[in-house]
Amino acid sequence: MTTQPELEAQLDLLQLLTSMYTSTELILPEDIQSILDQYIEDPSSSLPPIEQLTCELDLPIDEYGDSSKHVQFQINLSVGGSDEKVKIRPKQPTFLNRSQYQALLDTIPSIGIEDEPSEHILNTVEIVKSALQAVLEESKAQISPTDSDMDTKVDEEIIRVWFWLPSLSTREKRDDMVNFAKEVGLTGFVLAGKPGLLAVEGGSQVIDKYMSRIKSESWSDIPKHHKKITERLRRPLTSPEARAFQDMREITDTITHYGQYNHRGDMSEVKKLMDQWGVGEDFGAVIMNSGA
């Protein structure tokens, strides 16, 4: 059962958080914001009964570096019978697979009896951000050309590579294909379904390392004999300006699908799109070679 002192204590904590973070970083549901506003305006007023105050925190992983990568936290402040008065949990970032995400959760300490709730929240945020920064730095080191690579091969061959998959459906793995490519400047597209297609443009070594990362990280939970992806075409480009794709994206939702499970893309629509991008000949060769 909620008591007024318990609720007031958690509202004090929530008010402290609003002073520490901006309104775009700390997001409160409308009903929680209304209760907080009422409490701030008149702390002695009778507050409505509520078992839990919730909010979300959206922060850049590295506020002094690449601010495009964010992590979201769910914060629950219990005002009922729960022994754990403060719970903070990060949502799974798109660049972490399930095993990496579980490892991240395992690093988060539980709040101690004598711990200040605000300090526990701040400490958890810093632990998570530091862990994610380390993951991102490690990924860049694995996939980006090293200084010695650049010294020995400044003019690395720029290529376009097409991969064919008998099936591609999992949203998480499709997101990884797009996000991992963006991190290292590859352009291209992902098409989910039966079959699935992946096309990427960039340095040949970068593409090879990109695919190694896909298989070792994103597909780490898939048995080796199920990791079926085939390189169908590798075409050299005359220069970086010869790329056909402006960015890396998924095009699945732009194509009509059919079949019992709506998983087969209309290849005639895909062909029209490829023709518009100037890679129709490549696409035809890939599809003919695949038997799709």
- Clarify whether residues 136 and 160 are in a common domain: no
Instruction: Confirm whether 54 is domain-assigned.
Output: yes
The Cα 134–Cα 50 span in angstroms is 39
- Clarify whether residues 10 and 46 are in a common domain: yes
- Clarify whether residues 194 and 98 are in a common domain: no
The Cα 165–Cα 188 span in angstroms is 16
CB atoms within 10 A of CB 82: 13
Give the amino acid at 6.
E
**Percent over 90 (pLDDT), the chain:** 38
- Clarify whether residues 47 and 113 are in a common domain: yes
Total number of domains in the chain: 2
Q: Which one of 109, 140, 171 terminates a domain?
A: 140
CATH of the domain at 93: 3.10.110.10
What token pair was written down for 287? 């599809």
Instruction: Confirm whether 146 is domain-assigned.
Output: no
Top mean pLDDT of 42-46, 145-149, 273-277 is at 273-277
- Clarify whether residues 189 and 217 are in a common domain: yes
Helix, strand, coil abundance in the chain, percent, nearest 5: 45, 20, 35
With a cut of 80, say whether residue 87 has pLDDT above it: yes
Instruction: Confirm whether 149 is domain-assigned.
Output: no
With a cut of 50, say whether residue 150 has pLDDT above it: no
pLDDT at 278: 93
Higher pLDDT among residues 199 and 111, named by residue: 199
- Clarify whether residues 30 and 91 are in a common domain: yes
- Clarify whether residues 94 and 218 are in a common domain: no
CATH of the domain at 223: 3.30.70.100
- Clarify whether residues 62 and 93 are in a common domain: yes
Q: Which one of 83, 111, 140 terminates a domain?
A: 140
- Which pLDDT band holds residue 148 (cuts at 50, 70, 90)? very low
- Clarify whether residues 48 and 24 are in a common domain: yes
**Average pLDDT of the segment spanning 127-134:** 90
Backbone angles phi, psi at 86, to 5 degrees: -130, 125
The Cα 94–Cα 171 span in angstroms is 10
Q: Which one of 79, 110, 140 terminates a domain?
A: 140
Q: Which of 129, 136, 137, 141 is nearest to 57 (CA)?
A: 129
pLDDT at 153: 43
With a cut of 60, say whether residue 144 has pLDDT above it: no
Instruction: Confirm whether 203 is domain-assigned.
Output: yes
What is the phi-psi region of residue 210: left when phi exceeds 0, alpha when psi lies from -120 to 50, beta otherwise? alpha
Q: What is the pTM of this model?
A: 0.50
Q: Tokens 């920064």 label which residue?
A: 133
Provide the mean pLDDT of the chain.
83
Give the amino acid at 145.
P
**Percent over 70 (pLDDT), the chain:** 84
Which domain does 201 fall in, by range?
156-290
- Clarify whether residues 201 and 94 are in a common domain: no
Instruction: Confirm whether 238 is domain-assigned.
Output: yes
- Clarify whether residues 123 and 246 are in a common domain: no
What digits encode the pLDDT tens for the residues 181-196?
A: 999 999 999 998 888 8
**Average pLDDT of the segment spanning 36-59:** 89
